[in-house]
Structure 1
Amino acid sequence: MLGPLRVAAGGTELELTSPLSRTFLALLVLNAGRQVTLSAFADALWGAELPQNPRRAVQLCAVRVRAQLDRIGAGDIVATCPDGYRLDVPPNATDLGGVANLLREADAAAEPEGELAVVTAALGLWRGEPLADVPSEELQREVAPGLREKRLRLLERRVDILLRRGSAAELVDELVTLTARHPLREGFCGQLMQALHHCGRRGEALDAYHRFRRRLSDEFGVDPSESMRTLHAAILAGRPDEDRGTELTRLPVPRQLPASAAAFSGRKGELAELDGLLTVMHGSSGPVIGVVTGTAGVGKTTLAVHWARRVADEFVDGQLFADLRGYHPGQALSPDRVQARFLRTLGVRAEDIPTETDELTAMFRSTIDGRRLLMVLDNANSADQVRPLLPGGPGCLAVVTSRDALLSLIAIEGANRIDLELFDMAEARELLARRLGSERLAVESQAADDIIAASARLPLALAIAAARAVIDRGTPLSALAEQLREGLDAFDTASDLTDVRAVFSWSYRALSPDGARMLRLLGLHPGPHLTVPAAASLGGLPAKTAGKLLDELVRANLVIEPVPGRFALHDLMREYALELVSAEEPEADRDRAVRRVLDHYLHNGYAATAVIDPMLTGEGPGDALPEVLLEEMADHDAAMDWLTAEQEVLVSILDWAADAGFDRQVWELVWVLVPFFDRLGNSAQCLSCMEAALKAGERLGEPLMQARAHRGLGNLHFRAAREADADRHLETALKLYRGDGDLVGEAHVEMALAAFREHQGRHPEALEHALRALELHERLGDAGSHANALNSVACCYVQVGQHDLALEHGRQALAAFRELKAPDAETAALDTIGEAYQRSGRFAEAIDSFQEAIRLARQVGNRFYTAQSLDNLGDTYLAMGDRTAAHDAWSQAEAILDELQHPAVGRVRVKLAEVDA
């Protein structure tokens, strides 16, 4: 197949003159050992121009091909199947199978020389363009590109081995040719850069990068990947040596699979089906997808994780795992949130991740393209939830688990379905034997069978029953089986869920009264997991009591502890807990529990935010209910740790609150999340939260809420260089504030507009806005806001050349910030004062001010402020004639801005180039 189609047997080659015969045989070879349906043949042979009777036409074609193969004694290799035909040859009888075998040998090679020999042999199997003389539009469109891609990857792998071996000089000419033929292929460009750099041709390596970057920008409007930028930065800085060169483009290798069940039982047939996916993957030109489907509690996740851990070493670029929470009572995880999480795991910085869905999907597919990844997408509720997360190229395998059959994924994406049924008796006994011991089962064999019957052979139900038997070792199994039988009235053989409810009810009745109440209330928690303090607030209990109750639930296998200190309900148990709390807790008590848990996250979140940045303005939530546990936020690190640990819960609660109509709480949660995500540089999450705030304000009919949300959106769009959107939101905010007579809000928007107009170069307008903000804040009397306005006015005076007024206002701002103990703001004021000194020719004083700003910014970890003051310090040194000191300051600024991917890095690089000239 890897060239014009060739068929030979016993040394005799068959000449195939018929285009239809070549296409028919090509499709068989591509699926060697597997049935090809009549409809698939028809599509490949005729496309949309089907003959009047396609089935009969395919059958006639098969007759002709068999007759031709008979001429070389091979007519019997085309076997007839119920709905098509199959080529009965071993995989290594085709060159495609040969390549797959050689790739496995290469992956297993212990030494680079052995790997190189096998890769070279695989490349030698190509005789030209694959399927070169097969006139099938479908095969040329769907198959040939994948085969070409496979060869290119082998070429890249061979070059990588040779680069590691130190053969850079011999590779340069070959890589120049390859990059000319494939100018948009990042792998070849990166390898050419490495080879040139290792040969001492640094300038040519950098030029290769810039040509590649320009072509990407011109044709697609995108930048090179982070790994290419890292390689470029390393070459620019004059490193690494030859031994380290190949490490530069090595990307993170995620290992996200959860632990496998300690007592995994049965499922031999299903494991074999999953193993078959690996075989398919090795000969496939695209990704392979498996869908594990079955009822709730049947063990889909357990099977997928156990199998994935068995084969993890096959996937050298790592394994990704996500619980999509498709049947969670709150909002299921959207594909874009999972894409963003995976991108961060794969080394993409949060601030580089697009906010637009199409751009995010494109970046995700580009990032995983060419990698050998295993993805486990657990608990999906629909094909649409999964589809954007699927890999697009060969070498990847995705396993999806779902209660839904996901038929469209099977029909459109060609996913392979693995149906997971209830345990048979042998598998159920194996589970009990692993958990309880063979001796105990042998003594009470009939009782074990009774437990299996009562548990309906559902793995989750059996696990819970077994856990109870482990805890109560002194209780005979017959007594436990009798207890199960007491709940038979609740059993309904038509529903697996009803069966599980019976088992749950038995375990539930065994709990202490307080433990049972805690289980019920956990069904109301909207997040994916919770801590002991959150459970204490939910139950209105002391933390010590809540911790003991959670431990009781974990021991009973009703609650899981996925990581130490965090607790969660299995989906099925959550459904059961919701039924219980609805049936057994009065509505007023349920409402109060929900209010307590919302208060827990709101008040603790606000406390953490206030510790991180005391200059943040805005009213916090109202008084918390007295039973809410307020956690200690001892210092900046403790506050950041709390927010970092709870961010997924907070986002889930935000989504749930929006769906449930808790608009006031949505509004309040946003002002916990936005400052946190803003500090992380996660603009996508900031934008999403702010849009949720705007919708909440609109639903509540609160103009001031809408105004503040518009103000926040305006600032976010301003920072993202979306000037039209920024202008629209800020002007809307100003109109709303003025219409409501809110001077505080108006002052904040005036400040934002001052910064925006200054960025646009409209300095007189910026000064007008800043002076209006200062006037308002003087009247309002808030010390922090007044200090910010003073610094804004000072900045604007610098830009219009009124340096004495700039110094006067800047010094007042600095004194106020020091009084307020606001080091971030103090750094900004020092930078403004330094710039005023520099513009007025007082260079020594400017240098002192900038250096103090840099020291303080580094102390509080504000990297952008550090770079900004270093940039200004370099300008001052240059104005004094000290080019060396200027170069040093700008180099430090460039390194920080480049890592932050801030647009200002271009301006600093121009300065460096000019001072070097």
Structure 2
Amino acid sequence: LRGFIEALGVPQARIPSGTEARTGLFRSLLASRRVLVVLDNARDSAHARPLLPGAGESVVVVTSRERMHGLVTTEGARPLTLDVLTEQESTGLLVRRLGGRIAAEPAAAAEIVAATGRLPLALAVVAARVADHPSFSLQVFAAELRPAGALLHALEDGDARRILSWSALALTDGAARLFRLLGLHPGPDLTLDAAAALAGAPEPAVRPLLRELTRLHLLTEHSPGRYLFHDLLRAYAADLVRTSEPPAERGDALERLYDHFLHRAHAAAVLVQPQWPAVTPVPRLPANSGEHVRDADTALAWFAAEHQVLLRTVAQAERHGFEAYSWQLAWALTAYLAPHGLWQDQRVVQETALAAAERAGDPAGQAMACRLLARAESRLGDLGAAESRLRRSLDLYARLGDANGQAQTLHNYVELCYTDGRLAEALRHGDDALRLYRLSGNRDGEARTLNAIGWLHAAGGDYERAIESCSQALERQRHAGDRNGQAATLDSLGFAYHHLARHDRAVTSYEEAVALFRASADRYHEAETLVRLGETLLATGDARRAEDVWRRAAVIFDALGDPEADSVRERLALVREP
């Protein structure tokens, strides 16, 4: 106020001493003027309010890390939330600072833009460092920014920590602690219940702390109930928690987080795949009192929302020495990854799970991870590696005396041998799996293996025997309510009926299989069945419907990133040829 009043021509001796009196004088001086007042980096509404003009034609621009709801509510301010720069704006900033060096190395420039998160401060600091070394390649500076946490260290010259601390110092003690602990979250985004798990506090107590963090732009609520860090702020929070929280508190917070994810994912997996024999998870921590999902549809929606978070959590838990949480969470995540055909993710997550179980010396975890990893490798075409994993899994389950685990592994071996064209060996493994499922009393597994055996008979040309085996499987699966199992068996029946030229029965079986696969969110197998349905429709002369279902299959394979989409499009092209 003193500075403004002096700038408006009032001698120091005439400037009153009290804030209220100075505010009154300031407003009277502006009443007859047209002045632009810029209040940069205001702490909050109360900080800015004494500097607002009264009546008149003046305009005020206030910048702040705070959302300034008070000014919006009582002063009629119009909020404008600024995002980071666009990619084009970021590149333009670098061009203005560095000229032709950007055009000479566009890939390195794009990597620098991505690494800085398109934050103006970060871009300006990195540009200054590049300008200081005109003989260095841009690739050198891009490489400096690749390691985790490198951006924060690279910005030391720009006083980044001090600037970030302005927001952190404005936090209440509870919000400041939560901000630090959120630096432990693997990302990319988080929810209220995960934040509550990290804090070890009930959700109602954590909700206002998240609001405080978003009000100060330390977090962004990028979609309802989901919060996102800017990469620089994530690195800053991670640095704070590492230097400010004792190791024991960090470990406890991580355990609470992993416990939270494991038990929610386990409950969701059992709902999505009720016929799968479930692992027994690590006992739930007493503080873990959150609600679980209650039906298969909400479980699938939860997996879809948390998919990327769970992938990162599996890796982080293994890295921090929480091996049981890592491999058990990887098992639960399979209930979402496998039906969606996300085999690359499944391979990565099960490789991590296997490393965790090996480090823990846990043979049950190793057997499970080997089996699930083998299925991913088989689907990705690496049959040699998959077979080696399955043999190891069988050996581990045999040592454990786990007949059910051996049966599951043999069932997966059936699929591998079929893919490799070894039908006789596949049937032997199927018969062994059927015997072990019966020995362990797993009727769901027995039914699924009956279907697998039926498929093998169909692949060998014995369609009547295939229908007999699959019909037994379907009867048991309908009685048990195994939607996904029924879908797979109906697909097998459709295949057998098609090759017996019983096309109406084939179409009916395929269409019911497609509906059940869709109902259980098994998009990969839905697409496979659509391809076979199209073949049957084409055989009946209904080329128009065949094209329609093949287009649907191609859309699904494209969404899954599966190369099978190309072969489906080849079928479409052949049908369209005159």
> Could you state the TM-score of these two structures normalised by the residue count of structure 2?
0.69
Alignment length (residue pairs)? 469
- Give the distance between the partners of 1:908 and 1:616, measured in 2 at CA: 34
1:580 aligns with 2:244: yes
1:533 and 1:631 in contact (8 A); partners too:
no
Change (3 A) 1:776 1:904: farther
Change (3 A) 1:278 1:784: farther
Deviations 1:557-616 (A, max 9, x none): 494235253165543344334443319xxx4x6554432221111111222333333333
1:810 aligns with 2:572: no
Indicate the larger mover: 861-870 or 786-795. 861-870
Deviation of the 1:547 alpha carbon: 0.6
Q: Could you tell me which residue of structure 2 aligns to residue 402 of structure 1?
A: 151
Q: Equivalent residue of 2:275, what SS?
A: coil
- Equivalent of 2:430, from 757, 770, 773? 770
Q: Could you tell me which residue of structure 2 aligns to residue 745 of structure 1?
A: 405
Give the letter aligned to residue 144 of structure 2: S
Give the letter aligned to residue 239 of structure 2: E
Deviations 1:646-692 (A, max 9, x none): 33332333232222211111111212333333344333221111111
- Give the distance between the partners of 2:508 and 2:328, measured in 1 at CA: 42
RMSD, aligned CA? 4.2
Deviation of the 1:401 alpha carbon: 7.8
- Give the distance between the partners of 2:212 and 2:576, measured in 1 at CA: 69
- Give the distance between the partners of 2:111 and 2:529, measured in 1 at CA: 55
Change (3 A) 1:651 1:580: same
1:891 aligns with 2:523: no
Any unmatched runs of 5+ in structure 1? 1-256, 262-269, 309-375, 387-399, 406-417, 424-455, 465-503
1:894 and 1:905 in contact (8 A); partners too:
no
2:341 and 2:523 in contact (8 A); partners too:
no
1:831 and 1:850 in contact (8 A); partners too:
yes
Deviations 1:759-818 (A, max 9, x none): 223222221111111111112122321221121122122233444432232122222322
Any unmatched runs of 5+ in structure 2? 1-80, 86-90, 127-137
- Equivalent of 2:259, from 574, 599, 615? 599
1:275 aligns with 2:24: no
Rg bigger for which structure?
1
1:381 and 1:402 in contact (8 A); partners too:
no
Q: Could you tell me which residue of structure 1 aligns to residue 219 of structure 2?
A: 560
Give the letter aligned to residue 812 of structure 1: Q
Deviations 1:90-133 (A, max 9, x none): xxxxxxxxxxxxxxxxxxxxxxxxxxxxxxxxxxxxxxxxxxxx
1:834 and 1:846 in contact (8 A); partners too:
yes
Q: Could you tell me which residue of structure 1 aligns to residue 479 of structure 2?
A: 819
2:550 and 2:572 in contact (8 A); partners too:
no
Deviation of the 1:520 alpha carbon: 5.7
Deviation of the 1:422 alpha carbon: 4.5
1:292 and 1:420 in contact (8 A); partners too:
no
Q: Could you tell me which residue of structure 2 aligns to residue 140 of structure 1?
A: none
Query: Is the helix fraction higher in 1 or 2?
Result: 2
- Give the distance between the partners of 1:869 and 1:708, measured in 2 at CA: 28
Q: Could you tell me which residue of structure 2 aligns to residue 312 of structure 1?
A: none
- Give the distance between the partners of 1:615 and 1:725, measured in 2 at CA: 27
Deviation of the 1:721 alpha carbon: 1.7
Q: Could you tell me which residue of structure 2 aligns to residue 74 of structure 1?
A: none
1:867 and 1:892 in contact (8 A); partners too:
no
2:94 and 2:123 in contact (8 A); partners too:
no
Give the letter aligned to residue 428 of structure 2: E
- Equivalent of 1:834, from 481, 484, 494? 494
- Give the distance between the partners of 1:258 and 1:817, measured in 2 at CA: 55
2:214 and 2:221 in contact (8 A); partners too:
no
- Give the distance between the partners of 1:277 and 1:622, measured in 2 at CA: 55
1:670 and 1:690 in contact (8 A); partners too:
yes
Give the letter aligned to residue 289 of structure 1: A
- Give the distance between the partners of 1:911 and 1:844, measured in 2 at CA: 22
Q: Equivalent residue of 1:530, what SS?
A: strand
Q: Equivalent residue of 2:220, what SS?
A: strand
Change (3 A) 1:897 1:670: same
Give the letter aligned to residue 835 of structure 1: F
- Give the distance between the partners of 1:739 and 1:521, measured in 2 at CA: 42
Give the letter aligned to residue 303 of structure 1: L
2:493 and 2:506 in contact (8 A); partners too:
yes
1:783 aligns with 2:487: no
1:712 aligns with 2:461: no
- Give the distance between the partners of 1:570 and 1:825, measured in 2 at CA: 43
Q: Could you tell me which residue of structure 2 aligns to residue 533 of structure 1?
A: 193
Deviation of the 1:531 alpha carbon: 1.9
Give the letter aligned to residue 268 of structure 2: A
- Give the distance between the partners of 2:251 and 2:502, measured in 1 at CA: 65
Change (3 A) 1:693 1:832: same
Change (3 A) 1:578 1:868: closer
1:827 and 1:853 in contact (8 A); partners too:
yes
> Could you state the TM-score of these two structures normalised by the residue count of structure 1?
0.45
Q: Equivalent residue of 1:625, what SS?
A: coil
- Give the distance between the partners of 2:438 and 2:488, measured in 1 at CA: 20
- Equivalent of 1:382, from 144, 147, 170? 144
2:354 and 2:366 in contact (8 A); partners too:
yes
Deviation of the 1:898 alpha carbon: 4.2
Change (3 A) 1:874 1:577: closer
Give the letter aligned to residue 467 of structure 2: L
- Equivalent of 2:121, from 286, 291, 303? 303
Paired residues for 1:28-107 under 5 Å: none
Q: Could you tell me which residue of structure 1 aligns to residue 19 of structure 2?
A: none
Deviations 1:461-480 (A, max 9, x none): 4x33xxxxxxxxxxxxxxxx
- Give the distance between the partners of 2:106 and 2:243, measured in 1 at CA: 44
1:676 aligns with 2:336: yes
Give the letter aligned to residue 560 of structure 1: L
Q: Could you tell me which residue of structure 2 aligns to residue 259 of structure 1?
A: 83
- Give the distance between the partners of 2:446 and 2:277, measured in 1 at CA: 12
Give the letter aligned to residue 257 of structure 2: V
2:447 and 2:472 in contact (8 A); partners too:
yes
Percent identity between the two aligned chains: 27
Give the letter aligned to residue 661 of structure 1: G
Change (3 A) 1:864 1:560: closer
- Give the distance between the partners of 1:911 and 1:533, measured in 2 at CA: 47
Q: Equivalent residue of 1:787, what SS?
A: helix
Q: Could you tell me which residue of structure 2 aligns to residue 460 of structure 1?
A: 164
Change (3 A) 1:798 1:529: closer
Deviations 1:370-397 (A, max 9, x none): xxxxxx99x98836649xxxxxxxxxxx
Give the letter aligned to residue 497 of structure 2: Y
Change (3 A) 1:905 1:864: farther
1:543 aligns with 2:203: yes
Deviations 1:250-300 (A, max 9, x none): xxxxxxx98149xxxxxxxx9977513355445x4765639989xxxx999
1:871 and 1:908 in contact (8 A); partners too:
no
Q: Could you tell me which residue of structure 1 aligns to residue 130 of structure 2?
A: none
Give the letter aligned to residue 259 of structure 1: D
Change (3 A) 1:888 1:420: same
2:463 and 2:497 in contact (8 A); partners too:
yes
- Give the distance between the partners of 2:156 and 2:297, measured in 1 at CA: 48
Deviations 1:677-719 (A, max 9, x none): 3344333221111111111121122233222222222211211
- Give the distance between the partners of 2:574 and 2:95, measured in 1 at CA: 57
Change (3 A) 1:558 1:914: closer
- Give the distance between the partners of 1:299 and 1:713, measured in 2 at CA: 34
- Give the distance between the partners of 1:567 and 1:876, measured in 2 at CA: 48
Deviation of the 1:821 alpha carbon: 2.8
- Give the distance between the partners of 2:392 and 2:357, measured in 1 at CA: 14
1:751 and 1:769 in contact (8 A); partners too:
yes
1:606 and 1:620 in contact (8 A); partners too:
no
